[in-house]
Amino acid sequence: MVTIKDIRAILTQPAGSRLVVVRVDTSEPGLYGLGCATFTQRHLAVKVAVEEYLKPLLVGRDADRIEDIWQTCWAHSYWRNGPVLNNALSGVDMALWDIKGKRAGMPVYQLLGGKCRDGVALYRHADGRTPTEVEDRVHGLMAEGYHYIRVQMGGYGGIPSGSRRPEGALPGAYFDDREYARSVPKLLEHIRGSVGFEIELLHDVHERLRPTDALALAKAVEPYGLFFLEDLLAPEDIEYFALVRAQCATPLAMGELFNSPHEWTPLISRRLVDFIRMHISQMGGLTPARKVAAFAEIHNVRTAWHGPGDVSPVGHACNLHLDLACANFGIQEWAGFTDASREIFPGCPEVRGGYLYPNDQPGFGMDLDEAKAAQYPCKSQVEMWTQTRLPDGTAVRP
C-alpha cells in the first residue's frame, strides 16, 4: 500500500496572480503528486488549511482511496462548501489523481475513460478601451489561429466611471452599470461588422448587472450570435435565469463563483444554462468536477471550465485532461503562460493553432521547480478591483 507521507502548499507569483500548488508526497520514494489550490485573494488562508488541517488528517492514509479521502475531507470541518476549504481540498484531490496516473503509467485522461478529442479548443480574451482597440486585438488572435474570442471594452463593467461621484466618495473600482450595459451591443455590432460571423464571439458580464438590466442585455445581444454570454447574473440571483431563458435564445454560461452543488444543480437540471464553468479548485477538485460533467451531459449542458490567470499551470493541466475525456466538452478559457511560469512548471500544456495539447506523460504530466518558484514570492496586497462601487459610491459585487 502506498500511503501519504507529507502534504505541503507551495506559493508563487510568476505573473499577476498569487498561485497555490499542493504537493502530496508518498511512502514510495520519488512518487508525489501536484494539485492546484489557487484562491489568489486568500492564498495564505488556503496554505494554513492545507498544512494545519488536511495534512494531520491525511498523513498515513492510503493514497489510492481518492473518493474516500475527498468525502472525509469535505465533511471533516463540519461546515463546508466554502472557497478556502474547497481550494485546500482541491489541491489534495488533484495531487492524488496525479499520483494515481503516475502509478498507472498513464495520463489522467486515460483514467477518466480516454480521449473524446485530440485537442481542446480555447477561447482568449480581447480587451481594449475602444471598439477599434478590441477589433485590433481580435484580428491579432485570429492571426494566431484562435477561432473563439471573448471581447470586452474597458474590462469588467466597461470603462471605469470617474464622474458623478459624491463628495467624500470612498476609493474603489467605480463603474456605471447602466452605461456598461448600453456599450456592449455597440461593441458587438462593431466587431461583427469587421470579422463577420465566421469567428465565435463571447462576452463576460461578470455579474455586474441587476437582473432586469441583465435580461435586457441578453435580449439586445441576441442578433450578434454569441457563442455564449458569461456570468450574466450573480450566484445570489440564479432564480432569474428562468426569466432570461424564457425570453431569448442567447447561449448562457455560468458558474465561476460557485462553491456548492446547490448552486449549479438547479441550473443544469432545469436546463437554464448552456455551459457550466466552475473554477475546479473552488468546487473541490477533479473528483466533483468529473461528476458535474457527467450530470451536465445528461441534461445536454456543455463544459467551459474557468481558466484565467489565477489558475496555476497544474490547474490548467487538470482542466485539459477533463476536457479531453468529456463528450460534452464545450470550450476552454485560456490565459496563456509566461516564460517564468513555464520555467517553474516544466511540462506545461502547449497551444498550437488555437488548440491545447497535453504532453501525454503519466499523471497530469507536470512538475514544479521549487527553487525557481521561490524566486517569485507572493506579494500580499489589499485588492482594489474587488472593491467595486457604483457612481454614487455604493459598494456592489465585483
Q: Identify whether residues 80 and 160 lie together within a single domain.
A: no
| Residue 368 in domain | no
Could you report the per-residue pLDDT of 42-84, keeping only the tens digit for each?
999 999 999 999 999 999 999 999 999 999 999 999 999 999 9
Q: Identify whether residues 185 and 279 lie together within a single domain.
A: yes
CA geometry: angle 52, 380, 90, nearest 5 deg: 40
Q: Which residue, chain included where needed, has cell 511512502?
A: 27
Residue 380 has pLDDT above 90, yes or no: no
- Percentage of the chain exceeding pLDDT 90: 94
Q: Indicate if 156 belongs to the active site.
A: yes
| Residue 371 in domain | no
Rounded CA gap, 139 and 263, in Å? Answer: 37
User: What pLDDT is stored for residue 397 in this prediction?
Assistant: 86
User: What pLDDT is stored for residue 162 in this prediction?
Assistant: 66
Residue 163 has pLDDT above 80, yes or no: no
CATH of the domain at 34: 3.30.390.10
What is the separation, in whole angstroms, between the first and last Cα of the chain? 47
User: What pLDDT is stored for residue 155 in this prediction?
Assistant: 84
Confidence grade of residue 381 (pLDDT, cut at 50, 70, 90): confident
| Residue 372 in domain | no
User: Which of these is catalytic: 206, 279, 306, 316?
Assistant: 206
Mean model confidence pLDDT for the chain: 96
Q: Identify whether residues 84 and 140 lie together within a single domain.
A: no
Q: Identify whether residues 135 and 93 lie together within a single domain.
A: no
Q: Identify whether residues 259 and 315 lie together within a single domain.
A: yes
User: What pLDDT is stored for residue 331 in this prediction?
Assistant: 98
Could you report the per-residue pLDDT of 226-251, keeping only the tens digit for each?
999 999 999 999 999 999 999 999 99
User: What pLDDT is stored for residue 280 in this prediction?
Assistant: 96
Rounded CA gap, 159 and 156, in Å? Answer: 8
CB 126 within 8 A of CB 138: yes
From residue 144, give the alpha-carbon distance in Å to each of 66, 94, 193, 352, 356.
39, 31, 21, 9, 13
**Whole-model pTM?**
0.95
| Residue 35 in domain | yes
Could you report the per-residue pLDDT of 112-161, keeping only the tens digit for each?
999 999 999 999 999 999 999 999 999 999 999 999 999 999 989 888 86
Could you report the per-residue pLDDT of 285-326, keeping only the tens digit for each?
999 999 999 999 999 999 999 999 999 999 999 999 999 999
> Which of 47, 76, 107 represents a domain boundary (last residue)?
107
CATH of the domain at 270: 3.20.20.120
Q: Identify whether residues 177 and 229 lie together within a single domain.
A: yes
Could you report the per-residue pLDDT of 21-44, keeping only the tens digit for each?
999 999 999 999 999 999 999 999
User: Which of these is catalytic: 32, 109, 123, 156?
Assistant: 156
Could you report the per-residue pLDDT of 185-232, keeping only the tens digit for each?
999 999 999 999 999 999 999 999 999 999 999 999 999 999 999 999
Q: Identify whether residues 22 and 154 lie together within a single domain.
A: no
User: What pLDDT is stored for residue 150 in this prediction?
Assistant: 98
Residue 398 has pLDDT above 90, yes or no: no
> Which of 76, 92, 107 represents a domain boundary (last residue)?
107
Q: Identify whether residues 84 and 160 lie together within a single domain.
A: no
Question: Rg of the Cα trace of the chain?
Answer: 21
CB 53 within 8 A of CB 80: no
Q: Indicate if 357 belongs to the active site.
A: no
Rounded CA gap, 128 and 132, in Å? Answer: 8
User: What pLDDT is stored for residue 160 in this prediction?
Assistant: 80
Q: Identify whether residues 142 and 25 lie together within a single domain.
A: no
Q: Identify whether residues 118 and 262 lie together within a single domain.
A: yes
> Which of 92, 107, 122 represents a domain boundary (last residue)?
107
Q: Residue 35's domain spans which residues? A: 4-107
State the cell numbers at 273: 444554462
Q: Identify whether residues 128 and 186 lie together within a single domain.
A: yes
Q: Identify whether residues 164 and 237 lie together within a single domain.
A: yes
Residue 374 has pLDDT above 70, yes or no: yes
| Number of domains into which the chain is organized | 2
H or E stretch covering 186: helix 177-195
Q: Which residue, chain included where needed, has cell 473528483?
A: 287
